[in-house]
Structure 1
Amino acid sequence: MKERNFGRTGQRVSEIGFGAWAIGGTWGEVSHEDAKSALHAALDAGMTFIDTADVYGDGRSEKIIAEVLNERGGKRPFVATKLGRRLSPHVAEGYTESNLQAFVERSLNNLQVDSLDLVQLHCPPTEIYYTPEVFDVMDKLVAAGKIRSYGVSVEKVEEGLKAIDYPNVSSVQIIYNIFRQRPAELFFHETRKRNVAVIARVPLASGLLTGKMNANTAFSADDHRAFNRNGEAFDKGETFSGVPYDVALDAVEDIRKLVKGDVTMAMFALRWILMDDAVSVVIPGAKNPAQAEANTQASNLAPLDQETMTALKTLYQQKIAPWVHQRW
């Protein structure tokens, strides 16, 4: 597994990490044993970066990670978690010092550590990026040794650009995939200039870019791909990258024609993300060991040729950008 620098933190991490949303919940049923086995397989394959959040399964994801890492012993991978979405309602007024401290203490307990590697504000309301006091609290948590570094997880490019104005924001997590290409414009330029780590999430557009879905694919009632297609529960852009399902399926067929040899479409889609050196780590999810192992293989693929990259940019501009480009 190839490694990349994680911004200015001094850490090096595997360029493909483990996205731990699916083992927490809202991706259909994943048994406790399957969740543990998937994470073990990812770590066995060389992944050294895990991304989770306190709301994934109401702490289930964090607790499973702690269980697996305690079983394995030895050098720990870099574990990033998130806070803020436990607020109900999720409003800017809830981002108080006492609430942020309480969320950090809960994650410390769930992950069974004395200090958190990275804590990310979890897609907070836009006004939070214009509230310096919130970032002051995060600085205090670093000074107290509760967290080693902090970043943000954003919905919109504009939020990411505002976040990195704060000098101690070390990372930004953002949706970046073949269906969401806007970050590669100004945003990546700025993160390179400031040496801010970029975590690319939703890399497979909620599974669409695996090429395994069709118009008749059914999702269980507890799967966000069933209940959040129009943003009913959280931001619409988190589900299928905000692209209408039928539009996306049509574009997937065009992408399929560009995938050569025995490479899977999922591997191809992950390799496309890794083509940009602004990306520090990409975090596909996995529900079982086979998925986890397959994700790692993209790190070993040869770079995509310029003809393919140009074709994918044209596809995005013609079929996908009208639905997503200016929204996120």
Structure 2
Amino acid sequence: MESRRLGRTGRDVGVVGLGTWQIGGGWTAVGDDDAVALVHAALERGVTLLDTADVYGDGRSEQLVARALADVPTGERPFVATKAGRRADPFEAAQYTPDNLRGWVQRSLGNLRVERLDLVQLHCPPPTVYGDDGVYDALDALVEEGLLAAYGVSVETCEEALTAIARPGIATVQIILNAFRRKPIEQVLPAAAAAGVGVLARVPLASGLLTGKFDESTTFGEDDHRHFNRDGAVFDVGETFSGVPYELGLRAAAEVGAVAAGRGASTATFALRWVLDQPGVTCVIPGASSAAQVRSNVAAAQLEPLTADELAAVERVYDEHLRDVVHHRW
């Protein structure tokens, strides 16, 4: 698999990683053994970056990642990125204190069974946190102590990303980027590239819409965020189907699928390749609930880059169906 430098971490990672929100919870349930098996399947296919968070299943995702990596020799371990901050209670900027940041980091160290975290990302905190000098001072202190190798941010909006990228200690920025969420291409990707900040593209398949496998009759379990968060009742609606109304997303995904079919690729593989072809992207981090999905995701790294005509066709889908709905929001 092609590798790219992950910003200021100084580490090279494969261009297709593995997001592990699914194995924590909030999606279709994945059993412990199946979760470990799909992590192993990812490693066997060249995945070298795993993305998790302390709130995915209240630590379950981190713990399952640790279990899956228990027998992996130190020199062969993948880069593990986790996140902190969504455990703040109440969820407000005042909770991002040095003591709380240290506590969240120490909990992740225990869950992941390591002495130093490869990367901790502030997990979509309240917007004012991105400009808080004290937060960055606390993170710098944790790096100096050796508890963190690097830190970055996960963001909801392009404005938040640009605020963070301007900080000298930020190694990476994680942002939603897919064929249904193009706004980061305009400023965020160029700014990150100029600053030497790595870009992790999350929700690359728009919560599954861009797999082309859903239709009007598809149902989701009551504990699946694609069921309970369509109106943003629990967290930012932009995280669910990229903020695109479901029925509209189905129509747009069908058109992207028709373009993909022209080169004999699945909609999902084609959509992931689209993300990888955006200048400035380091790694795309699709989730998976099975080893088969892992294989489909990794296939994007072997797909030839999209042609100018294919890129233009995807842009037309966005402009005709989605731009007015999502472009002004995030």
Q: TM-score, normalised by structure 2?
A: 0.98
Aligned-pair identity (%): 49
User: SS where residue 23 of structure 1 aligns?
Assistant: helix
Q: Distance in 1 between matches of 2:90 and 2:216?
A: 35
The structural deviation recorded for 1:315 is: 1.5
Q: TM-score, normalised by structure 1?
A: 0.98
- Paired letter, 2:313: A
The structural deviation recorded for 1:88 is: 2.2
Q: Distance in 1 between matches of 2:230 and 2:107?
A: 30
The structural deviation recorded for 1:294 is: 1.5
Question: Per-residue displacement from partner, 1:175-198 (whole Å, max 9, x unpaired)?
Answer: 000000010111111111111000
Q: Distance in 2 between matches of 1:102 and 1:220?
A: 33
1:157 is the counterpart of 2:165: no
Structure 1 segment 160-309 matched on structure 2, within 5 A? 160-259=161-260, 260-309=262-311
From 307, 311, 314, give the equivalent of 2:313. 311
Q: Distance in 1 between matches of 2:11 and 2:56?
A: 25
Match of 1:52 in 2: 52
The structural deviation recorded for 1:71 is: 2.4
Q: Distance in 1 between matches of 2:292 and 2:319?
A: 33
Match of 1:9 in 2: 9
User: SS where residue 7 of structure 2 aligns?
Assistant: coil
The structural deviation recorded for 1:130 is: 2.1
Q: Distance in 2 between matches of 1:183 and 1:261?
A: 26
User: SS where residue 198 of structure 1 aligns?
Assistant: strand
Match of 1:326 in 2: 328
Q: Distance in 1 between matches of 2:141 and 2:128?
A: 21
- Paired letter, 1:186: Q
Deviates further, 316-325 or 52-61 = 316-325
**What RMSD, in angstroms, separates the aligned Cα atoms of the two structures?**
0.9
The structural deviation recorded for 1:131 is: 1.2
| Structure 2 contact 189–279 (Cα < 8 Å) conserved | no
Match of 2:99 in 1: 98
Structure 1 segment 66-77 matched on structure 2, within 5 A? 66-74=66-74, 75-77=76-78
Q: Distance in 1 between matches of 2:182 and 2:149?
A: 30
User: SS where residue 16 of structure 1 aligns?
Assistant: coil
Match of 2:39 in 1: 39
* Runs of 4+ off more than 3 Å: none
Match of 2:27 in 1: 27
Deviates further, 255-264 or 56-65 = 255-264
The structural deviation recorded for 1:89 is: 1.9
User: SS where residue 80 of structure 1 aligns?
Assistant: strand
Question: Per-residue displacement from partner, 1:207-250 (whole Å, max 9, x unpaired)?
Answer: 00000001110000100000000101100000000000111111
The structural deviation recorded for 1:261 is: 4.3
- Paired letter, 2:24: G
Match of 1:141 in 2: 142
The structural deviation recorded for 1:73 is: 2.7
Q: Distance in 2 between matches of 1:5 and 1:124?
A: 26
Deviates further, 221-230 or 285-294 = 285-294
Match of 1:118 in 2: 119
Q: Distance in 2 between matches of 1:314 and 1:111?
A: 43
- Paired letter, 1:79: V
Q: Distance in 2 between matches of 1:276 and 1:97?
A: 36
Deviates further, 100-109 or 72-81 = 72-81
Question: Per-residue displacement from partner, 1:269-326 (whole Å, max 9, x unpaired)?
Answer: 0000011230010000011111112111110001111011011112112211111111
Question: Per-residue displacement from partner, 1:54-85 (whole Å, max 9, x unpaired)?
Answer: 00010000011111111233421100000000
Question: Per-residue displacement from partner, 1:152-174 (whole Å, max 9, x unpaired)?
Answer: 00000000000111110010000
- Paired letter, 2:13: V
Unaligned runs of 5+ in 2: none
- Paired letter, 1:68: A
- Paired letter, 1:172: V
| Structure 2 contact 244–326 (Cα < 8 Å) conserved | yes
Q: Distance in 2 between matches of 1:123 and 1:92?
A: 11
| Structure 2 contact 257–266 (Cα < 8 Å) conserved | no
User: SS where residue 121 of structure 1 aligns?
Assistant: strand
Match of 1:80 in 2: 81
Equivalent residue pairs, number: 328
- Paired letter, 1:324: V
User: SS where residue 67 of structure 2 aligns?
Assistant: helix
